[in-house]
Chain A
Amino acid sequence: MTSTLIALMLWTAPADSNNVQLQSFERVWQIINEKHWDLAGTGVDWQQVHETYLPKAMKAKNRTEMRAVIRDMIHELGQTHFGILGAERYDKLDELKQGLPWGSGDPGFEVRAVEGRVFVVKSWGNVPVGTELKTINKKDLKEAVATTEKAFEDAPQRALYVNMTLNELFSGPEGDTFELSARKPGAESDELLTVAWHAPRGQIEQMGNLPPVSFEYRTEILEQNIGYVEFNVWLMPLVQHFATFMPTLKDTQGLIIDIRGNGGGVGFLANSLAGYLVQEKGKKLGTMKSLDSTVNFFIVPRLDQRYQKPVVVLIDGGSASTSEIFAAGLRDLGRAKLIGSRSAGAALPSVVETLPNGDRFQYAIADYVSLGGLKIEGTGVEPDINAPHTLASLGQGKDAAMEAAIEWIVKQGVVQ
């Protein structure tokens, strides 16, 4: 009897699962219908969208198919921070990863696509900055870049998605190794490198029901007596790290905050950190407008640890959300020089809700406007000094934005 019940349950699971899928579709539509701050302003007839997509949702047989339906429905809005968390990127990653092992192991470097090729732009392992990566386990990387760029060509935030997808190609099982065909800067021929995946260099952190992330944070006093800090996500440990770091900057001639590749995190940490850099009371980094409220990213100046020297914020296409609010806000206050390349343009504050089918639906609840009136969504933040990675700079193993930042800070000292 029991086995029969179990057999029946197993057999009926897909039917129940379909119901859950449909509930998830309805929940996503409902959330946007009720919580979007200006649905009419999008010019989309959201009721009509429901009628269009419901028949497709009813035909979806599993979570993957339903994700596609929900994704297409959300796409009608043309805005970021609405989506099944990571689903689109992971679909593409699934395709690119075929034949490559999965894992959370760290390869010891970070890459960017530059002119259709893959280069190491940050390194904490044996593959130096400026190395061009040509294949991974014999998989052609130029082709991977082309596929990824094609997949996101219509997205205003394509630099962000391409960057994230490419970097995840290089993660793998901890303790295992992989092979790279690569050309190091200045070398005249390619060489085969065997690289090990290590434990993620950061600390695993989880924020509520968001997926766990590896929080990476590094500081340094550069030889020019300039403070340098980089971190990959805006999470609460930053507060303690900054409280420790800022006093060490007392005698430096400037500070570089590197948030290239930093896709965001807790929004109010932007103004929290700005509290160390801004002296005056009553300042803010910008405003978030929702359906019925306006929230200021207000700055509380730190009473005892205010830093008054020149500040550079490094940004690129991987800098999104909180990173953009931080950069745009400090620039508008005249407190930082922005150097690098245009940011992602994905700045809508959002929350994450778990759907009946287990997927996590991320949806925006407000619009962000910088102090200077700039709407970052879809356009991004332009740097004051454009200094992207180029074939020439990487060929010499150099970081163009870092060099420009150091040069600018040193110049400020001379001017003073």
Chain B
Amino acid sequence: MKKMLILMLASTLVFAGSAEEIMDKATAAVLGNNGNKVIDSLVFEATMSAPNGLNAKIMGIQAKGGKLYVKTNINMGSQEMEQVQGCDGVDCYEMNTMMGARMLEGGEKSLLLSQHNLDGMADWRNTYTSAELLGEEDVNGEPCYKIKLVMDGDQHLVQYVSKKDYLVKRIDITVTSVMGEMAMSTYQTEYADFSGYTLPTKVTMEVMQQQMTTTFTNYEFNSKVDDAKFQIPEQLKVAQ
């Protein structure tokens, strides 16, 4: 019995080691020759198309210390809607025309940070508390490592890292929050070079049997950003 326990622990350690190694290689694949450079900020622009003929323009700013500001302008034909999501390094919020303003908690906060944490780009350990190799699986015919990554709290996701180039090709996550429980998969494709960093230009999300495609048109590193952008809006500070 003791032997079996030692064997089980050993195998977990071996798997944990492999997962971390793969994640380190995945980080290196994104950073390229910029491994030693400090990333202070990242500004990105993207467009998104969604079912029912909806489309959106997205502009995001990320800064060191888990700071984030993402503005999405959704075009719905004759109507428009603006949504802002942000984090000041501690708290995260969302404001949109339809639902008003609210603080993000639990799974929604974890998801937002996992998608846009600049510190996590430099080292995955800044976003995730542990990594576990679940096995191998093909994504669109490409062999991948399947790795479970745990975030703060109970939230976790599964990343599929290419065995060939160590770039992330798919992410599965079930987000539990005030909105309910939403299972989603994202597929990262069409990687391109941006100032030496290798990043996906197309991300297709599958959620509730629907597909939404985000096309990143620009990534700009270390440009000067206004720190005021990351502050929690006054109306939400009052509510807290």
Contact = CB atoms under 8 A, between A and B. Distances in A.
B182 A293 contact: yes
Interface stretch (B11-19, B112-120, B173-181, B186-194): B173-181
Contact of A268 (B78, B99, B101, B182): B99
Given A295-B179, A298-B179, A303-B238, A207 B99 contact: no
A9 to B, nearest CB: 29
Interface in B43-102: 51-54, 76-81, 97-102
B98 A239 contact: yes
B77 A206 contact: yes
B183 interface: yes
B180 A295 contact: yes
B52 A208 contact: yes
Q: Binding site of B, secondary structure by majority: helix, strand, loop or mixed? A: mixed
Given A269-B98, A275-B100, A293-B208, A207 B181 contact: no
Contact of A236 (B52, B79, B239): B79
Contacts of B9: none
B210 interface: yes
Interface of B: 51-54, 76-81, 97-102, 178-183, 207-210, 235, 238-239
Closest CB pairs A-B (n = 5): A209-B53, A208-B53, A206-B77, A35-B209, A236-B79
A204 B78 contact: yes
Interface stretch (A61-69, A284-292, A391-399): A284-292
A300 interface: yes
Contact of A291 (B80, B100, B209): B209
Nearest to A209: B53
18 contacts: A34-B209, A35-B209, A207-B78, A239-B97, A271-B99, A272-B100, A292-B183, A293-B182, A293-B207, A294-B180, A294-B181, A295-B179, A303-B101, A351-B52, A351-B210, A365-B209, A365-B210, A366-B208
Contacts of A282: 178
A353 interface: yes
Nearest to B238: A303
Given A35-B209, A205-B79, A207-B78, 5 more contacts: A207-B77, A207-B79, A210-B53, A287-B180, A294-B182
B208 A235 contact: no
A61 B178 CA distance: 50
A237 interface: yes
A303 B52 contact: no
Contacts of B76: 206-208, 236
A300 B102 contact: yes
A295 B235 CA distance: 27
Contacts of A269: 98
B98 A268 contact: yes
B237 to A, nearest CB: 11
A74 B12 CA distance: 51
B179 A235 contact: no
A225 interface: no
